[in-house]
Amino acid sequence: MRPPGKGLPFSRRVRFAWAGVRDAWRLEASFRSQCLAALAALFALAVLRPGWLWSAIVVVMIALVLAAELINTALEAALDGLHPEHARFVQVAKDCAAAAVLVLSGASVVAFACMLADLYGQATAG
């Protein structure tokens, strides 16, 4: 027997995914901050016009950070629901998921700084 929710039309699955984004926005202050930082970075791309390659790198980094935060939120919600009591394995799982977000956030900042350095180098060379 097919599990409920499987084989639904694409539009229904997009609605489920959008509901997940709304839940993360409602529940997680860090997701809201990351969305605002992403908007600021996209605005910077629109103003600075660093070229297709840098734009692609920045957009991919934004997507990775937001996706990692969504997975982190999903893991936290599942663990809190399934095992609300204090447990070492919950701590390890939550801390590792948070570390994944931190690693990607740090890499994003470095990539953005490299883009700015490259643009500065081009501006001062010419």
Ligand X SMILES: Nc1ncnc2c1ncn2[C@@H]1O[C@H](COP(=O)(O)OP(=O)(O)OP(=O)(O)O)[C@@H](O)[C@H]1O
Q: Could you say which DSSP state residue 3 is in?
A: P
Known binder of ligand: residue 85?
no
| Residue among 20, 68, 65 at smallest CA distance from 41 | 65
Say whether 23 counts as a known binding-site residue.
yes
Smallest distance from ligand X to CB 27, Å: 8
Rounded to whole angstroms, the Cα distance separating 73 from 24 reads 7
- CB-wise, 39 or 102, nearer to ligand X? 102
Query: Among 68, 69, 70, 97, which one carries the catalytic annotation?
Result: 69
85 is catalytic: no
Please tell me the distance from the alpha carbon of residue 57 to that of residue 107, in angstroms, as a whole number. 11
Please give the annotated binding residues for substrate, written as ranges.
22-25, 69
Please give the annotated binding residues for ATP, written as ranges.
28, 76, 94-95
